[in-house]
Amino acid sequence: MYPSDRYGMPKTDHTKWRLITDIYGKQNWVYDRTGDGPEPTSYVRHQMQNGFNPKELPKPESAHDAASNCFSFLSQLQDDSGIFPCQYGGPMFMLIGYVAAKYFCNVPFSEEEKLEIRRYLVNRAHPVDGGWGLHTYGDSTAFGTSINYVILRLLGMSADHPAMVKARGTLLRLGGAIGAPMWGKVYLSLLNLYKWEGVNPSPPELWMLPYWVPIHPGRWWVHTRAVYLPMSYLSMNKASKELNPLLEAIRSEIYTKPFDQIDFSRHRNTVCGVDLYYPHSKMLNFANATLAMYEKWLRPEWLRKKASKEVVDLVLKDLKNTDWLAIAPVSQALNAMVIFSEFGGDAPEFKRFLDRWPDALYMSPEGMFVCGTNGVQTWDAAFALQYCVMAGLSDKKEFHDALIKGYRFLVNAQFTDNAVEGSYRDIRKGGWGFSTKIQGFTVSDCTAEAIKAIIMVQNVPGLEFLKEDMPVERLQEGVDVLLAIQNWGNFHYGSYASYEQIKGPEILELLNPAEVFGNIMIEYPYVECTDSSILGLHHFTTHFDYRKDDIEKSIKAATDYIIKHQRPDGSWYGSWGVCFTYAGMFAIEALSTQGYTYENSEVIRKGCEFLVQRQEEDGGWAEDFRSCELFSYVRHEKSEVVQTSWATIALLLAGYPEKSVLDKAVKFLMSKQNDDGSYNHNHVEGVFNHSCAIEYPNYKYYFPMKAMGMYAKIYD
Ligand code: LAN
Residue 89 and residue 364 in contact, taking contact as beta carbons nearer than 8 Å? yes
> What is the interface pTM, i.e. ipTM, of the complex?
0.95
Task: With both helix axes pointing from N to C terminus, report the angle between 641-654 and 699-715 in degrees, rounded to the nearest 10.
Answer: 30
492 CA distance to ligand 1 middle (Å)? 20
Task: Name the residue among 103, 350, 332 with its Cα closest to residue 229.
Answer: 332
Contact by Cβ (8 Å): 387, 653:
no
CA of 688 to the centre of ligand 1 (A): 6
pLDDT tens, position by position, 104-123:
999 999 999 999 999 999 99
For residues 415-444, average pLDDT: 97
| Total of domains in the chain | 1
Closest-CA residue, ligand 1 atom 24, reads 372
pLDDT of residue 678: 97
- Residue 470's pLDDT is 96
H helices then E strands: how many in the chain?
25, 8
Ligand 1 atom closest to 223 (CA) = 31
Domain annotation covers residue 497: no
Atom of ligand 1 nearest to the CA of 88: 21
Residue-by-residue DSSP string for 117-160: HHHHHHHTS-TTT----SBTTS---HHHHHHHHHHHHHTT--TT
* Cα separations in angstroms, 687 against 78, 418, 439, 479, 646: 25, 29, 21, 27, 16
445 is known as an active-site residue: yes
pLDDT at 267 over 70: yes
Nearest Cα residue to 171 out of 156, 186, 155, 153: 153
- At 636-660, the pLDDT tens digits run 999 999 999 999 999 999 999 999 9
Residue 340 is assigned to a structural domain of this protein: yes
Q: Which of 275, 445, 531, 624 is catalytic?
A: 445
Asked if residue 468 belongs to a domain, the reply is no
Is residue 330 in some structural domain?
yes
Give the tens place of pLDDT for each residue, 301-336.
999 999 999 999 999 999 999 999 999 999 999 999
Nearest CA to ligand 1 atom 10: 498
Q: Is it the case that residue 401 has pLDDT exceeding 70? A: yes
Ligand 1 pocket residue status of 558, Cβ below 6 Å:
no
Quick check: CB of 112 below 6 Å from ligand 1?
Answer: no
Q: Which amino acid is at 473?
A: E
What is the pLDDT averaged over residues 557-575?
98
Indicate the top mutation candidate among 434, 446, 517, 585 to test ligand 1's pocket, ranked by most ligand atoms within 8 A of CB: 434
What ligand 1 atom has the least distance to the C-alpha of 444?
A: 10
Of 222, 335, 443, 482, which is best to mutate to test ligand 1, by the most ligand atoms within 8 angstroms of its C-beta?
A: 443
Residue 360 Cβ contacting ligand 1 at under 6 Å: no
Nearest-atom index, ligand 1, CA of 529: 9
Pocket test of ligand 1: the residue of 93, 220, 223 to mutate, having most ligand atoms within 8 Å of its CB, is 223
Question: Using an 8 Å Cβ cutoff, are 214 and 504 in contact?
Answer: yes
Q: Is 372 helix (H, G, I), strand (E, B) or coil?
A: coil
CB of 628 closer than 6 A to ligand 1?
A: no
pLDDT(456) > 60: yes
- Contact between 343 and 350 under an 8 Å Cβ cutoff? The reply is yes
Tell me, using a 6 A CB cutoff, whether residue 328 lines ligand 1: yes
Residue nearest to atom 7 of ligand 1 (CA): 576
Q: Is 690 in the pocket of ligand 1 (CB under 6 A)?
A: no
Q: What's the CA angle centered on 592, arms 589 and 593, to 5 degrees?
A: 95
Query: What is the distance between the alpha carbons of residues 681 and 672, in angstroms, rounded to a whole number?
Result: 11
**pLDDT of amino acid 152:** 98
Report field, pTM of the whole predicted structure over 0.95: yes
Residue 575 in contact with ligand 1 by CB distance below 6 A: no
Check if 688 has its Cβ closer than 6 Å to any atom of ligand 1: yes
pLDDT at 3 over 90: no
Atom 8 (ligand 1) nearest CA: 576
Residue 230 C-alpha to ligand 1 middle, in angstroms? 19
Check if the beta carbon of residue 335 is closer than 8 Å to that of residue 315: yes
pLDDT value of residue 518: 85
Model confidence over 502-556: pLDDT tens digits?
999 999 999 988 888 888 999 999 999 999 999 999 999 999 999 999 999 999 9
Task: Report whether residue 528 contacts ligand 1, using a CB cutoff of 6 Å.
Answer: yes
Q: Is there a domain that residue 254 lies in?
A: yes
CATH number of the domain that residue 274 is part of: 1.50.10.20
Neighbours of 430 (CB within 10 A): 23
pLDDT tens string 12-31: 999 999 999 999 999 999 99
Q: Ligand 1, residue 688: give the atom nearest the CA.
A: 20
Residue 378 Cα, ligand 1 centroid: separation in angstroms?
13
- Which amino acid is present at 255? Y
pLDDT at 5: 87
Q: How far is CA 362 from CA 48, 89, 150, 374, in A?
A: 11, 9, 20, 9
Percent of the chain surpassing pLDDT 70: 99
Asked whether 224 and 327 are in contact (CB, 8 A), the reply is no
pLDDT for position 466: 97
Judge if the beta carbon of residue 373 lies within 6 A of ligand 1: yes
Torsions phi, psi for 363 (to 5 deg): -100, 135
- Rounded distance from Cα 529 to ligand 1 centre (Å): 12
Q: Is the CB of 379 under 6 A from ligand 1?
A: yes
| Integer Cα distance of 619 and 664 in angstroms | 5
Distance CA 389, CA 392 (A): 5
Q: How many CB atoms lie within 10 A of CB 59?
A: 8
From CA 372, how far away is CA 567, in angstroms rounded? 30
Nearest in space to 538 (alpha carbons), one of 601, 456, 437: 456
The answer to whether residue 697 is domain-embedded is: no
Q: What is the pLDDT of residue 514?
A: 85
Ligand 1 mean position, distance from CA 576 (Å): 8
Q: Which of 93, 94, 688, 702 to mutate to test the pocket of ligand 1 (most atoms within 8 A of CB)?
A: 688
Q: What is the pLDDT of residue 141?
A: 97
Query: What integer best gives the mean pLDDT of the chain?
Result: 96
Measure CA of the first residue to CA of the last residue in the chain; give whole Å: 35
Distance CA 241, CA 247 (A): 9
Instruction: Examine residue 326 and state whether it is found in any structural domain, yes or no.
Output: yes
For residue 624, tell me if it sits in a domain. Answer: no
Residues 584-602: tens digit of each pLDDT: 999 999 999 999 999 999 9
- CA-nearest residue, atom 11 of ligand 1: 498
Atom of ligand 1 nearest to the CA of 224: 31
Residue 336 domain boundaries = 93-370
- Residue 602 confidence (pLDDT): 98
